Amino acid sequence: MQAYQETTDWKHPNHIYLLDGTTLVAYIKHGETTPFYFKSPIKGFDKRGRKFKLVEPSPFNKTAIVDVMPWIKKVSGSKPGITYTVNTEENTCTCPGYTFRGSCKHVKELETI
């Protein structure tokens, strides 16, 4: 997961956006520190017409995300090399199953732990 700070010069406040590849998973409102996670992540986030800078080092990178936000868990998908993000506080997941049905095995498995 990567964090991007919007730097577009306009009259609206710029936020920080959390992307998993090109999928927008969450954003942090200007002046706040807590991410808002989408129930259904937005695939193909379009940056055209706006300016962004990569936040480095990102507290939301894949190796540090569990330490920074313990309610966020990384889980393996059924295909090798595929990982999804589960928010155990909101019981949401970035997998396609959750996106289409609103529930998935990843959330259910973590609820039983």
Q: What is the pLDDT of residue 62?
A: 46
Q: How many CA atoms lie within 13 A of 2 on its CB side?
A: 13
CA 44 and chain centroid, separation: 13
Structure token digits, residue 4: 């991007």
- State pLDDT tens for residues 21-76: 888 988 988 877 778 888 888 888 888 889 999 886 555 544 444 444 667 788 88
Cα distances from 46 to residues 32, 50, 52, 80, 107, in angstroms, run 23, 9, 11, 27, 28
Structure token digits, residue 8: 């577009």
Q: What is the pLDDT of residue 58?
A: 54
- State pLDDT tens for residues 3-25: 888 999 988 889 989 888 888 98
Query: Residue 103 — φ and ψ, nearest 5°?
Result: -155, 160
Q: The whole model's pTM is what?
A: 0.52
